[in-house]
Chain A
Amino acid sequence: MSTSSENSLSLIEEYYEEQIIRCMKCGMCQSICPVYYEDSLETGCARGKLALSEALLHGKLEPNHKIEMIFNKCLLCHACAQVCPVGLSPDKVFAAARAEMVKRYDMPWIKSLIYRKLLGEGKLSSLTGTLSLANRLKLFVLARSLSIPKIFGKSAIRLSFATLPDIPSKPFLDRFPELLEPNSKPIGTVGYFVGCAQNSVFQDVSEASVNILLALGYRVIIPKDQGCCGFPHYGAGDFETLKQKIIQNSSAFKKYKLDAIIISCATGGSGLKDVYPEMTKEDNLKTLGANVYDISEFLALKHLDDLKKMMPTDKKEKIKITYHDACHLNRLQGISSQPRQLLRIMPSYELVEMENSTKCCGEGGGFTFYYQNISSSIANRKKETIKNTGAKVVALGCPGCRAQISGALKQEGLDIDTKHTVCLLWDEIKKGKDSNF
C-alpha cells in the first residue's frame, strides 16, 4: 500500500468532488437518520453536512470548531447511504472531513490520549491495563457521579463505561497462545482478529469464538503482534494512525498462510472489509493475506449443520431472545440473517424480533463523547423496543452496541442480559457436550 501523507488528502478530495457534488438535496436521509430524528436539525442529517462540505470546498465557509462539531454529529451508522437515491456514502465523506479537521486542529488531549496512546500503541495491553484499573477503582462510576464530563469540556464519560463488566487484568492476547491446535486433524487454518474491546473488556467473546473454531476442527492462529483495527481512528479522523494500523495488521496476518481471517467484532470487521480497501485500494486478500469473515457469517455459511449436531437435545422452556442489528454488521457488511440462523438452531432460545432492530443504538464511537444527550436518547428508544419484546436476552455482534445497550438496560435496572451471539452459541455447545456424556 501507499503510505504517502498525500494519500488521505487525495481520498478526501476525491470524495469532496465526486460524492458531495452529487447530493441532490432531496433530504431523503432525514427519513432514516437517528440523529435527525432526535432534534430535527439540519446539522444532524447527511444533506446538511454534505452542504457544509460543499461550502468548505468552494471556499464559501472557512473551517472552524463549530463546523468540526457538526461533522462529529454523525454516528457513521451508514443508514443514510441505504436510502440515498443517488447512492452516496455520506459517512465516508464525513470521516474524511473529520480527518481534514484533525489535520488542521490536531486532536484535543483527551482524544489524543485515547486514540493515539491507548488504541494506537502497537500491542493492546496498555488499554486493558488502564481500563481494568480504572474499572476496579470504580473511576467511571465516580466520574459520572461527579460530573467530570464538565472538566472535559463538551465531552462526557460515556453511559456505557459506568456499567462495564469486571475487566480481567490480563488481556486476551496474553492469556491465549499464538497457535492453537484442534483435537483432531485440522480441517483448515484460520486467523483470529481479536480487536481492542474483545482483547480487554469483552474477552468472553474472543474465548467463545476461538473455542467454537477449535471445536469445529480449525487450527487457530492469533497473531501476537496484531493491533487495533483502526476503525476508531478512521471515525475520529486520525487517518495517520489508521494507516499505521493497516501496516501493522497487514504484516501480523500476512506472515501466516490462512484460509480465512475471522473476527467477532462488527466494527473491526467493517474496518477490515470496508475501510482497508478504501484506504489501500486493494482487497483483503492482498492486504491481509486472506478474506475476512465475521464469525456469525463464517459459521452460518460453512458450519450450520455441524453446529446443529453440537446442540443440546433437552427442550425445556425456551428463553425469549431478541437480536439487535449492529450498523457495522448489518449495513457495512450486509450481515443480518446469519446471526439469526445461529440463534434459531439454539434449543434454549426462542427468537422474538424487536421493532426497528436495524436502528442504531446511538453509540457511534466518539459521538457519545460529543453528543451524550442525543446518544442516550437514542439508546433509550432502543431499550424500549427491547423491553417490548419481553426478551430476557439481547443478542448482538458488536462491542460498542453491547456497552451502550447494556448500559441503558442496567440504568433502568432491567434484568435483561446483553450477549454476543457466539457466547450464547458456545454456552449451548458446552451444554451439548455435557448432555452427550
Chain B
Amino acid sequence: MLNKVLVDKFVSIVGSLNVLTDESDLLLYSYDATQLYKIPDLVVIVNNAEEVSKVIKFAKANNLNVYPRGSGTNLSGGSIPVDGGVVIELNRLNKILNIDVENRIAVVEPGVIAATLDAEVSKKGLFYPPDPGSIAVATIGGCVAEGAGGLRALKYGTTKDYIIGLEVVLPNGDILRTGSFSSLRGSPGFDLTHLFVGSEGTLGIITKIAVKLIYPAKSRKTFLVMYDSVGKAGIAVAKIIENKIIPSTMEFLDKITINAVEDFTKIGLPRDIEALLLIEVDGEPEDVETAAKILEEVCLSVGARSISIAKNDAERMRLMEARRAALPVLARLKPTTILEDATVPRSKVADMLERIHEIQDKYNLMIGSFGHAGDGNLHPTILVDRRNKEEMKKVDMAIKEIFDYCIELGGTLTGEHGIGIVKAPFMEKEFKKEGLSLFRDIKKTLDPENKLNPNKIVGAKEVHLEYI
C-alpha cells in the first residue's frame, strides 16, 4: 500500500474512480492466465496516452515499478506485477480510431478486443487474420505486446506480420511514434515498430496501433484426417507443404486429447487413432478445388486411416468441433490446467511429441497435446491438481525437460504466448550469452532504471510466484 501523498498524485492525474487501492481490488489485478499472482501496490486505470505518460513520469520520479495490463489473459506471467508497484490498466483505451478501406489500414487503441477489430473490419469487406485462442477477450495491445499467433498463422502469419506503426510511451514518459499510420511503406532506419512488437511491455507502453488489413478468401474447404501414428501425421504435414499447398489451418490433436474430446462430445472419433489433423485450405474457388484434390491424395498416400471433407458450413462446424473442444475438454479432466507453448521445426513435431510422451510416463503426469502442426507450434497441456505440491514439483521438472529438448531440436521457447516471467529462466538456452546480453543492453538503453515491467523476458532476477 502506497502512502496517501503518492496515491493523491495519481488521483490528480486520472481521477479518484480510476485509482484502486483497496486490498480486494489489488488482488484482482495481481494475476493473469498462468494463474500465478503477485499483489501490486496500486492500480491506475488510464484513458489516454497523456495519462500514461504522466503516470510513468510520476512513478519513475518516485522509484515505482510500472506494469501495463490489458485483459490479463496472457499465459506467460507478462502482466503480473512481480516486483511490486503500479499496474496501469489500459482496457478503457478501446476506440477503433479509423478503418481506411482504400489503403487497407486500421488505427486502433490498445484496449480494443481482438475479436471486435476482426468483426468491425469484416463489416467493411476486410480481414485481420491473427486469431489467438483468446481472441474474444484479448486486447489488441496485448496481442501486439505478446506477438500473438493463432490457427491461421501458417498461411497468414502472426500479429507481428500486420503491425505497421505504433504510438508508444517510453519508460521516460516520452510519447514516440514509429513506422507509418497511413502507408504500408515503413519508415527508414532501424525498424523501431518491430522492436516493440513482442516486447511484452518491457520497452514501452503501446497506446496506438496501426495494422494492415487484407481481403478475406472467397472460398475454403475443411478436412479432418485420422492417422494410426504420429509419425505418419508428421510426414503428411511436411508432404502437403512440399506439394506447394499452404493450408490456412493445419491443426493437430494427440491421442489423449482425441479421447478426451470423444469422452465429452461423443462426436464419433475413433479411440484408437494416434493423431488427428484438421486442415483448411482457402483462396479463389478454383485454387481451393485443386489444392483440396492434391491434399486428399497426399494424405492418403501417407496412409491416412480416414478423411472427412466438409460439404457445407454446418459440416465444417462439426469438423472444427474436435479442435475447438480440445482445450475445454482437457481442462475438465483435472482441477488445474497448465497450457504450455513449444515450437519445433515442422519436421520435428513427431519427435517432440514422442519425447513429451516419454516425459509424461517418467513423471507420471497427464499431458494432452494439440496445436498448430503446420508451424510446429505445440501446446502440451499438463493436467494436474495444484494443491498437490509433489505433483507440481514434477511439473516444473517436466516443463524444463520439454524445453531442453525443444531447443535441442532447433525449436523456440514460445510460438505465441511470450516469454514473460515463466520462461525468462530458459532465455539463455535459446539465445546464448551474446543474445541475452544484447536483449539486456536494449532494455537498459530504453529503461536504464529497470522500472517498466521489470524481470520479464530478460529475467534480471529470479522471481518465485505462487497460486492464490
Given A28-B134, A30-B137, A42-B29, answer yes or no on A85-B91 (Cβ-Cβ < 8 Å): no
Q: A61 contacts B27, CB within 8 Å?
A: yes
Stretch of B168-176, B329-337, B358-366, B454-462 lying at the A interface:
B329-337
Stretch of A18-26, A151-159, A303-311, A313-321 lying at the B interface:
A18-26
Q: B331 contacts A86, CB within 8 Å?
A: yes
Q: A61 contacts B23, CB within 8 Å?
A: yes
CB distance from A24 to the nearest CB of B (A): 5
Question: Which residues of the other chain, B, contact A64 by a CB distance below 8 angstroms?
Answer: 24
CB distance from B278 to the nearest CB of A (A): 18
Q: A85 contacts B468, CB within 8 Å?
A: no
Q: A21 contacts B386, CB within 8 Å?
A: yes
CB distance from B176 to the nearest CB of A (A): 26
A186 touches B (CB below 8 Å):
no
Contact of B331 among A51, A70, A85 (CB under 8 A): A85
Docked pose: A51 CA to B33 CA in angstroms? 12
Question: Which residues of the other chain, B, contact A31 by a CB distance below 8 angstroms?
Answer: 113, 115, 136-137
Q: A52 contacts B28, CB within 8 Å?
A: yes
CB distance from A370 to the nearest CB of B (A): 15
| Chain A residue at smallest Cβ distance from B75 | A26
Docked pose: A31 CA to B139 CA in angstroms? 11
Contact of A55 among B27, B34, B115, B136 (CB under 8 A): B27
Chain A stretch 40-68: residues in CB contact (< 8 A) with chain B: 40-43, 48, 51-52, 54-55, 58, 60-61, 64, 66-67
B100 touches A (CB below 8 Å):
no
B51-75 interface mask toward A, CB cutoff 8 Å, 1 = contact, 0 = none?
0000000000000000000011100
Docked pose: A193 CA to B10 CA in angstroms? 55
Q: B28 contacts A86, CB within 8 Å?
A: no
Residue of A23, A24, A43 with highest tally of chain B CB at under 10 A: A24
Q: A60 contacts B335, CB within 8 Å?
A: no
Q: A27 contacts B73, CB within 8 Å?
A: yes
Contact of B33 among A25, A54, A58 (CB under 8 A): A25
Q: B28 contacts A27, CB within 8 Å?
A: no
B35 touches A (CB below 8 Å):
yes
Docked pose: A87 CA to B337 CA in angstroms? 13
CB distance from B322 to the nearest CB of A (A): 15
B434-468 interface mask toward A, CB cutoff 8 Å, 1 = contact, 0 = none?
00000000000000000000000000000000001
Docked pose: A313 CA to B37 CA in angstroms? 66
B22 touches A (CB below 8 Å):
yes
CB distance from A63 to the nearest CB of B (A): 10
Given A28-B134, A86-B328, answer yes or no on A51-B468 (Cβ-Cβ < 8 Å): yes
Contact of A21 among B24, B30, B134, B335 (CB under 8 A): B335
Docked pose: A21 CA to B33 CA in angstroms? 13
Docked pose: A306 CA to B336 CA in angstroms? 52
Question: Which residues of the other chain, B, contact A60 by a CB distance below 8 angstroms?
Answer: 27, 468
B32 touches A (CB below 8 Å):
yes
B31-56 interface mask toward A, CB cutoff 8 Å, 1 = contact, 0 = none?
11111010000000000000000000
Question: Which residues of the other chain, A, contact B37 by a CB distance below 8 angstroms?
Answer: 51
Chain A stretch 9-36: residues in CB contact (< 8 A) with chain B: 18, 21-28, 30-31
| Chain B residue at smallest Cβ distance from A43 | B28
Q: A54 contacts B134, CB within 8 Å?
A: no
Q: B33 contacts A43, CB within 8 Å?
A: no
Question: Which residues of the other chain, A, contact B115 by a CB distance below 8 angstroms?
Answer: 31
Residue of B24, B34, B331, B335 with highest tally of chain A CB at under 10 A: B24
Q: A85 contacts B328, CB within 8 Å?
A: yes
Q: B28 contacts A48, CB within 8 Å?
A: yes
CB distance from B72 to the nearest CB of A (A): 6
B9 touches A (CB below 8 Å):
no
CB distance from A429 to the nearest CB of B (A): 37
Residue of B111, B134, B468 with highest tally of chain A CB at under 10 A: B468
Chain B stretch 331-383: residues in CB contact (< 8 A) with chain A: 331-332, 335-337, 339
Q: A21 contacts B387, CB within 8 Å?
A: yes
Q: A26 contacts B33, CB within 8 Å?
A: yes
| Chain B residue at smallest Cβ distance from A56 | B24
CB distance from A41 to the nearest CB of B (A): 8
Q: A27 contacts B137, CB within 8 Å?
A: yes
Contact of B327 among A27, A66, A67, A85 (CB under 8 A): A85
Q: A25 contacts B31, CB within 8 Å?
A: yes
CB distance from A374 to the nearest CB of B (A): 13
Q: A87 contacts B33, CB within 8 Å?
A: no
Given A25-B33, A27-B137, answer yes or no on A52-B337 (Cβ-Cβ < 8 Å): no
B315 touches A (CB below 8 Å):
no
Q: A26 contacts B23, CB within 8 Å?
A: no
B13-28 interface mask toward A, CB cutoff 8 Å, 1 = contact, 0 = none?
0000000001111011
Chain B stretch 218-267: residues in CB contact (< 8 A) with chain A: none
Docked pose: A61 CA to B468 CA in angstroms? 10
Residues on B lying within 8 angstroms of A by beta carbon are: 22-25, 27-35, 37, 71-73, 91-92, 94, 111, 113, 115, 134, 136-137, 327-328, 331-332, 335-337, 339, 385-387, 468
Can you list 23 contacts pairing A with B, beta carbon distance less than 8 Å? A21-B336, A21-B387, A23-B35, A24-B337, A24-B339, A25-B33, A25-B34, A25-B72, A26-B73, A27-B71, A28-B134, A40-B91, A43-B24, A51-B30, A52-B24, A52-B27, A52-B28, A55-B468, A64-B24, A70-B24, A85-B328, A86-B331, A87-B328
User: Could you list 6 further interchain pairs (A-B, Cβ under 8 angstroms) beyond the known A30-B137, A42-B29?
Assistant: A21-B335, A31-B113, A42-B72, A52-B24, A55-B468, A86-B328
